[in-house]
Structure 1
């Protein structure tokens, strides 16, 4: 045997003189290996060491096998999945902490009992908060302070599907007794328009008024202002709408041709606010609002977006600045709300208007919308009992 194949620890032959073993060397000795004789197996693979600290697989080996391509792929996929999960969780936490939960439904008095299913009161207000003077001019919003309702939608979800019910803001209803928060003066129950409840007592009085006149318990409240509405539409890249006729309204600034087109935030706001050219006035406006919200929900509230909050980050960021909700509403509740709107918009639910007996009722407060009491009562009872409306 040659020196490089001797087994470590084997005693030297007796005739060899006794000597101190040399200090171990970290570098392998130069190879003097020659080709084996015919018929002799090679003691080790060429260039490899059969024993010692540098043997293949031993401690300190510098020739470790690289991970296979499939293993590297799995590791990369695992890292990316972790990053995506963290991003989604981060977006979720960020959005949940940004919710403006300023409405406390738990403190309201004279409320109706809970029914079956879940009911959301969705309000579009004309709040100018977040708009500069230039924005107000370009959007034709005027300069009025405070906020009033531009749309009121009662959204019901339950075992029998989703119902999106528009309540005209000019509906002639009975306001419950209330206390003016600015003057401290008390007022008795009295007839008035639905949007008066919002302007006189804010979300609290609006919720109590809706419950008093429908008998439907409101579980969650969500309100968005002009700036948030425009921001959401722009964040999703505009909304596709097909109009049967041109829409032109000087007050709202709407100037849209007939046919299919993509509305940006400013155009969309003008479209849902206009009512002067609608034959049925406020009723026509509520139909336009439902039509637009259906198109917006189809684009913004897709199943993949709802399942992954990080995908909805631009939309959430655009809307949260002017979004007001009740104290019990959290991000999962908003996701359920968006999903319900998407279902109603895609044929998986119902889009209705409250039954009307007179769209132009003359009152001391001007023209108002009078509900058809019998049919409206039947509709509200069906929602309260979570039955499909007839």
Structure 2
């Protein structure tokens, strides 16, 4: 600086007097505070004495250092226009001398909107609806919730309940029984031995009402061992097979069944062989000649034929567990291996065979025929009883024993035999051909039929009628 120059003339050295309200300055005049002054306009935005923003380094320059410069931060948008920051320089008319800090207009207190409190919404008052009586119901007890599964176990999805079908199981059982029954019937039917017993011949009698069976018990021993012959007391081989029992069974369309014994010594005409004993026809021509001889002698057409031997007869009796018989007199016959006391007793297979074969009685063949009819009735009654039919352990051995020991005609089946047994399960009329006496002939002693009664006897059967009481032989 040059001599003679007044430092006060240098604008850079001009000092600004202390402002009111600052240290070293005069006190604020009364009525003036920090609020903005209302009588002075705010400085414009292009005032050179006002620097916008914060000073460098964030510090204000000390007073007396250079021109009076006030830093004012950049104007904010939030405060209203009437608000004046204390760092702003105010001019009286916007262009004149800046205002001192003590001359700044007082700052107006901020007015905030009163705090708002939520007002609850209230519905307009309405009248209560008309109450109606509600019926009382007992409270439903809460369902019990099953306990949760164990934490260590993984919960399984619920299984779908299975639908039970009892009707389906019942149908399966019924079908299984039917199939089993059909299989058993087929097996038994195949077990039968079939022979051509019913053959056609000239002048054969036509069909007669009802159903006629010819039952034959032969003395054949071909299927017996030596031990069985000794046990059954058959007497060994006696030549050609003969018949010990011949029975005619007539099953009417209605009424009781009639069982007729045909004595084996009956003196009859045998086709192609003249007159001879009835059992001789079997020995001469087998079952076909026997059937033809019976049809000619009786005038009845035979529909079915069944033949059984010694071993089969005893086996059927044993399969049924024995047959109970009641004897009026004791029977002792060493040839038949028989020693039976009087009274009711159960006969085994060998004893039953000896009982139907013995002649060691006062009337010989007549008593023999009566024994055969009585035993046959008792046998069929037990075979068709509910105790046997409902017990498979008794029914099956009996059925297999009968099927395995019988010989039937080619056209007969196991169900035909079942029908025969069912027809004879109830009351059966048992009788014999009316006997006229005995006579000695060139073929030996023979039995003669009563010529006055025999025609009417067989005529009643041929007409499917009951035999008159006066023609029955008890």
Confirm whether residue 291 of structure 1 aligns to residue 384 of structure 2: no
* CA distance in structure 2 between the partners assigned to 1:213 and 1:46 by the alignment: 90
Q: Shift of residue 321 of structure 1?
A: 2.5
Conserved 8 A contact 2:217-2:245: yes
Deviation of 1:305 (Å)? 5.8
Match in the other structure for 2:234:
141
Deviations 1:273-306 (A, max 9, x none): 001x222221110100001111111111236866
- Aligned partners of 2:382 and 2:388 also within 8 Å: no
Normalised by the length of structure 2, the TM-score is 0.63
Check conservation: 1:362, 1:368, Cα contact below 8 A: yes
Aligned-partner Cα distance in 2 for 1:310–1:85: 18
- Structure-1 separation of matches of 2:191 and 2:218: 19
Q: Match of 1:31?
A: none
* 1:116 matched to 2:212: no
The equivalent of 1:185 in structure 2 is none
> 1:98 is matched with which residue?
191
Question: Relative contact order (alpha carbons < 8 A, sep ≥ 6): 1 or 2 greater?
Answer: 1
Aligned to 1:82: 175
Deviation (angstroms), 1:308: 9.9
- State the partner residue of 2:362: 279
Question: How many Å apart are 1:367 and its aligned residue?
Answer: 1.4
Q: Which residue of 2 aligns with 1:64?
A: 160
Determine if contact 1:272/1:285 at 8 Å carries over to the other structure: yes
When structure 1 is superposed on structure 2, of 362-371 and 100-109 the one drifting more is: 100-109
Offset at 1:104? Answer: 4.4
Mapped contact 2:315–2:401 kept (Cα < 8 A): yes
Say yes or no: does 1:196 pair with 2:280.
yes
Runs of 4+ in 1 over 6 A off after TM superposition: 41-44, 306-311
Bigger proportion of residues as helix: 1
The partner residue of 1:247 within 323, 331, 345 is: 331
Cα separation, 2, equivalents of 1:106 and 1:302:
35
- 8 Å contact from structure 2 (residues 325, 344) kept in 1: yes
User: Tell me, what secondary structure is at the counterpart of 2:380?
Assistant: helix
CA shift for structure 1 position 309: 9.0
Residue from 368, 387, 405 that aligns with 1:322: 405
Q: 2:248 aligns with which of 149, 154, 165?
A: 154
Contact 1:110 1:208 in 2 (8 A): no
Match of 1:349 in 2: 428
CA distance in 1, matches of 2:447, 2:210: 28
The offset of 1:110, in angstroms, is 3.7
How far does residue 42 in structure 1 lie from its aligned partner after superposition? 9.7
Structure 1 residues 172-194: Cα deviation after superposition (integer angstroms, max 9, x where no partner):
111112xxxxxxxxxxx411100
Aligned residue pair count: 322
* C-alpha deviation, 1:92, in angstroms: 0.3
8 Å Cα contact 1:88/1:310 also seen in 2: no
Q: TM-score, normalised by structure 1?
A: 0.76
Structure 1 position 107, deviation (Å): 3.5
SS in 1 for 2:453: helix
Per the TM alignment, residue 61 of structure 1 is displaced from its structure 2 partner at its CA by 5.8
SS in 2 for 1:350: strand
Segments of structure 1 that go 5 or more residues without pairing to the other structure are: 1-40, 49-54, 178-188
How far off its partner does 1:170 sit? 0.7
* 8 Å contact kept, 2:317–2:352: yes
* Structure 1 residues 234-253: Cα deviation after superposition (integer angstroms, max 9, x where no partner): 00000001111111112211
3-state secondary structure, aligned to 2:315: helix
Indicate if the aligned counterparts of 2:192 and 2:405 stay in contact, CA closer than 8 A: no
Alignment-derived partner of residue 225 in structure 2: 132
Q: Distance in 2 between matches of 1:307 and 1:242?
A: 26
Change (3 A) 1:104 1:223: closer
Match of residue 175, structure 1, among 263, 266, 270: 270
CA contact (8 A) 1:121 1:222 kept: yes
Tell me whether 1:302 sits opposite 2:302 in the alignment: no
Q: Select between 224-233 and 319-328 the one with higher mean Cα deviation.
A: 319-328
CA contact (8 A) 1:171 1:368 kept: yes
- Tell me, in whole angstroms, the C-alpha distance in 1 between the residues paired with 2:216 and 2:383: 18
Distance in 2 between residues matched to 1:155 and 1:369, nearest whole Å = 21
Match of 2:455 in 1: 377
Whichever structure has more strand as a proportion of its residues is 1
